[in-house]
């Protein structure tokens, strides 16, 4: 792609990553002072197992980062994935089996709680490792930063002193936002008790801001203690603002549920002498019941669950689309996401540059380096593959599916079609767990039975080499014949899906018959008619 044409198209592109990136061009018209890299940040709270809502922030931020690099002509950037693992554990997540370990360590910093899974040095280290494992698998370029490491290692000490120096200004920002009861005990600084190891929610008094000394009550005694070197943790909104200023964060997006936090943290950042970052407030993912996804409830899809039933590319595609609109996130959305991803990917090479920049796949292919595989196509849609596997049954095997694909796909060898082979594996899992247990083929009514018999007769006279289009035309002709009583072709196709495939929706039947084979389809019809 011509660099000048790309740069010109990017300046006016309405794709949301470019719209976000233009905020940073406005922030630094001549680039960041001193040639320093623009710093992007994402946040992760490891109080529960990571889910897709956690991962999506890294992907979306990466897409903005790449868009900024295009707009700025290659200005340097960094992405920090920041884990809030110094937080005290407030409640035990519902999706953890060995809850007793966590219950015995409530209110301690997450990195000072034993790992209930027994694989890492702490609960937070386990959850951090899970997040990093997937980010690495997806190929993200990022720097992982642990809140505990920053607090314990003293990197935040100067910023913590600034918090004490700005103590009253921060209180003036926060107190009007709190209920009266909460305001009585609120403190921007949460000391870590030397007696219990708990992160304490108690009022404090600043004794010496320059030395980082505070006074508070602990277990009925008045204690003077430093807040430096991991002996304290800032309250959430103050912590967020302090981090922005201490690290020099220029861009961070957040969910709609943090709208108030983002606004108040911005005020605190200014009180600390800094500048809040640019950012996008995105809508939240909802579960199948329309409820907000929560790490503690464990009601969202995990990354591993998506990849069991779909592809990495489809996950990225689903996350890319319409970040300001709420979307359901459950296994039922995966098949369509897979097929839509490949539809956009196949179109990409033939689009003019302006349309390419609005194509989600253009952004996804460049998230982790130079684009590869533009214009690749999938010889069989995922929806059609699921229909095939559904007919074959829950005991279908990979080899069996590929034997049928030989009817439809040129050079039907897994090695020649690695992307399709991955989807064969996920289709088998999807069918086993979600389709086969609910598959019910209904009995055709009298008119449908006549139409099915007519289809069987036509197929008996049709060559095995008939194309999907030729087979589709046979089906159309029967559906349009008033003798069979279908008001619309849709009614005929619905009858085929429900009586032959056991579902209310399905593929182009001509394509399905070409894939499944004429003889096998006639056996399905015979079963339906019997």
The reply to whether the predicted model has a pTM over 0.75 is: yes
Q: Work out the average pLDDT over 477-501.
A: 94
- Report which of 241, 234, 283, 284 is spatially closest to residue 262, judged by C-alpha positions: 241
Model confidence pLDDT, tens digit, residues 252-278: 999 999 999 999 999 999 999 999 999
In Å, what is the CA distance from 40 to each residue of 21, 43, 249, 278, 442?
A: 11, 10, 6, 9, 55
Q: Which residue has the higher pLDDT, 266 or 504?
A: 266
Residue 329 and residue 314 in contact, taking contact as beta carbons nearer than 8 Å = no
pLDDT at 99: 86
- Mention every residue, 6+ apart, whose C-beta is less than 8 A from residue 333: 318, 327
Model confidence pLDDT, tens digit, residues 221-261: 999 999 999 999 999 999 999 999 999 999 999 999 999 99
Report the 10 Å Cβ neighbour count for 208: 13
Place of tokens 């600034």: 162
Q: Work out the average pLDDT over 60-73.
A: 96
* CATH number of this structure's domain 446-529: 1.10.10.350
Poorest-pLDDT segment among 88-97, 210-219, 389-398, 442-451: 88-97
pLDDT band at 54 (very low <50, low <70, confident <90, very high): confident
Instruction: Give the start-to-end residue ranges of the domains of the chain.
Output: 382-438, 446-529
Beta pairing, strands 189-191 & 143-146: unpaired
- Mention every residue, 6+ apart, whose C-beta is less than 8 A from residue 332: 288
pLDDT at 32: 94
């Amino acid at each position: 792609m011509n660099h000048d044409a790309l740069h010109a198209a990017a300046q006016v592109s309405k794709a949301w990553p470019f719209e976000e990136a233009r905020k940073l061009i406005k922030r630094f018209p001549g680039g960041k002072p001193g040639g320093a890299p623009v710093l992007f940040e994402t946040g992760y709270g490891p109080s529960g197992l990571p889910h897709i809502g956690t991962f999506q922030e890294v992907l979306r931020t990466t897409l903005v980062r790449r868009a900024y690099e295009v707009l700025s002509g290659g200005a340097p950037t960094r992405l920090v994935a920041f884990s809030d693992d110094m937080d005290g554990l407030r409640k035990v997540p519902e999706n953890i089996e060995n809850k007793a370990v966590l219950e015995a360590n409530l209110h301690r910093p997450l990195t000072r709680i034993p790992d209930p899974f027994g694989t890492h040095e702490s609960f937070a280290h386990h959850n951090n490792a899970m997040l990093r494992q997937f980010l690495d698998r997806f190929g993200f370029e990022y720097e992982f930063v642990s809140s505990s490491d920053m607090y314990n290692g003293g990197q935040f000490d100067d910023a913590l002193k600034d918090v004490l120096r700005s103590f009253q200004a921060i209180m003036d920002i926060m107190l009007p936002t709190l209920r009266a009861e909460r305001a009585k005990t609120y403190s921007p600084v949460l000391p870590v008790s030397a007696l219990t190891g708990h992160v304490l929610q108690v009022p404090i008094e600043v004794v010496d801001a320059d030395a980082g000394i505070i006074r508070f009550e602990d277990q009925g005694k008045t204690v003077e203690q430093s807040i430096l070197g991991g002996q304290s943790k800032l309250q959430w909104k103050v912590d967020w603002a302090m981090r922005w200023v201490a690290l020099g964060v220029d861009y961070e997006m957040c969910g709609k549920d943090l709208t108030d936090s983002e606004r108040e943290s911005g005020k605190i950042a200014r009180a600390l002498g800094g500048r809040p970052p640019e950012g996008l407030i995105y809508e939240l993912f909802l579960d199948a019941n329309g409820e907000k996804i929560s790490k503690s409830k464990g009601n969202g899809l995990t990354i591993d669950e998506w990849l069991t039933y779909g592809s990495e590319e489809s996950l990225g595609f689903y996350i890319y689309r319409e970040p300001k609109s709420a979307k359901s996130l459950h296994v039922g959305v995966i098949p369509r996401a897979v097929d839509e991803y490949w539809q956009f990917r196949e179109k990409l090479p033939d689009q003019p540059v302006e349309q390419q920049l609005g194509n989600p796949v253009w952004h996804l292919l460049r998230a982790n380096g130079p684009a590869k595989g533009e214009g690749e196509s999938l010889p069989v849609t995922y929806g059609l593959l699921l229909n095939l596997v559904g007919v074959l049954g829950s005991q279908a095997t990979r080899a069996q599916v590929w034997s049928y694909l030989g009817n439809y796909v040129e050079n039907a060898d897994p090695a020649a079609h690695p992307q399709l082979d991955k989807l064969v594996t996920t289709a088998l899992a999807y069918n086993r767990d979600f389709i086969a247990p609910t598959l019910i083929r209904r009995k055709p009514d009298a008119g449908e039975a006549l139409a099915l018999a007519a289809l069987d007769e036509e197929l008996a006279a049709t060559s095995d080499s008939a194309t999907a289009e030729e087979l589709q035309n046979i089906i159309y002709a029967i559906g349009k014949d008033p003798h069979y009583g279908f008001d619309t072709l849709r009614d005929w196709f619905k009858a085929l899906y429900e009586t032959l495939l056991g579902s209310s929706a399905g593929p182009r039947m001509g394509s399905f018959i070409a894939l499944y084979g004429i003889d096998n389809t006639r056996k399905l019809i015979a079963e339906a008619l019997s």
